[in-house]
Every structure is written in C-alpha cells, then in structure tokens.
Amino acid sequence: MLINLLRTIQRRAAAVPFASDEAGQSLVEAALSISLLIGIVVGAAEMARVAYAAIEVANAAHAGAQYGAQSGYTASDTTGIATAASREAANLTTLTTTSSYACSCSDGSSSTCANTDCASSHLVQTLTVNTQVTINPVIHIPGLPTTYTLKGKAVQRCLQ
C-alpha cells in the first residue's frame, strides 16, 4: 500500500508543468518579450519628443509672423520677431529665427516698399519667418541620424 501511494505521488509530480524539461522556456520568452517591449516604448517616447519639438518649431514661426505682421514697422523688427518666436518655443534652447519681407503692389507690379511705388493700387507687404532647431536623440540607434534638424516656416501679409 505504501508503494502504491509513492507511485501515485510520483505520477502527479510528473504531471505538474514546472517539473518538466521546458520549465526555462517561459523565462527565456519573457526576457525576450520584455526587452523588445522596452525597446518599442523607448523608441516611441523618442519619436514623441521629436514630434513635440516639430510642433513647437512650427508654432514659433507662426508666433513670429503674427508679431511681425502687425504693421510695416514690426515687419522689419527682426529682434522682436525672434523674441516672439523664442517665447513661443521656450522649451527649445537652440532655436534660430530668420525673417524677411517683400513688397509688391496689389495690381501685380513690383515695389521697393516705398509708399509712393503703387500709384494706382495699394502696397502689399508679405513677411516670411523661418525657424530651425537641432534635436539630439537621447538614445543613439545605429542606422538612424545622430541629430534631427526641424524647420518651421510661416508666411503672412502685413497690415498697412
């Protein structure tokens, strides 16, 4: 009777999944899955960071153009335009801003931005603001760029 009891215990112990030869397979699968999952999460976080910076650069260009489009005077105020852009993108420390404006007459003729250029029409002044920032990734992955250059551009007519 004791021998029968020991055989029953032995058979039941052999039926337990962890007692088989495949006990380490789950641990290896879990380690591979977790490392892959961590790589995906870190990559997604890095791409989200770059996307956020791209939105900030575009918004900074629009803010600079809105400031400069207030009048003909503010269109030539490059310092004020750069300040408005940098305040909009306060999280980006390496933001560079350039601006330029061009004039034409509303009838399509060219102008030098003088008020007397457009005798039969009115002066149209267009402001262009370009912003740029370079982002360094937190994790450098072989095959991907070591830096990302993001650019923003806004074109707006100025009030006369």
- Residue 71: inside a domain, yes or no? yes
Summarised one tens digit per residue, pLDDT across range 10-21 is 676 665 555 555
- Residue 45: inside a domain, yes or no? yes
- Residue 155's nearest CA partner among 62, 54, 59 is 62
Summarised one tens digit per residue, pLDDT across range 53-63 is 999 999 999 99
Whole-angstrom distance, CA of residue 133 vs CA of residue 153: 12
Residue 156 corresponds to which amino acid?
Q
pLDDT band at 95 (very low <50, low <70, confident <90, very high): very high
CA quadruple 55, 57, 63, 68: dihedral positive or negative? Answer: negative
- Residue 52: inside a domain, yes or no? yes
The residues, any chain, with a CB within 8 Å of residue 95's CB and separated by 6 or more, are 57, 60, 85, 86, 89, 131, 132, 133
Count of domains for the chain: 1
- Residue 41: inside a domain, yes or no? yes
Question: For residue 79, what are the domain limits?
Answer: 28-157
pLDDT band at 29 (very low <50, low <70, confident <90, very high): confident
Structure-model confidence comparison of residues 18 and 78, the more confident one: 78
Query: pTM for the full model?
Result: 0.74
Whole-angstrom distance, CA of residue 40 vs CA of residue 98: 37
Number of Cβ within 10 Å of residue 154's Cβ equals: 22
pLDDT at 57: 96
The residues, any chain, with a CB within 8 Å of residue 42's CB and separated by 6 or more, are 139
- DSSP letter string, 21-70: TTTTHHHHHHHHHHHHHHHHHHHHHHHHHHHHHHHHHHHHHHHHHHHHTT
- Residue 119: inside a domain, yes or no? yes
- Residue 82: inside a domain, yes or no? yes
Which of 58-62, 89-93, 104-108, 146-150 is predicted with the least confidence, judged by mean pLDDT? 104-108
- Residue 11: inside a domain, yes or no? no
- Count H helices and E strands in the chain, helices first: 4, 3
Q: What percent of the chain has pLDDT over 70?
A: 87
Summarised one tens digit per residue, pLDDT across range 112-152 is 877 778 888 888 888 999 999 999 988 887 787 889 899 99
- Residue 12: inside a domain, yes or no? no
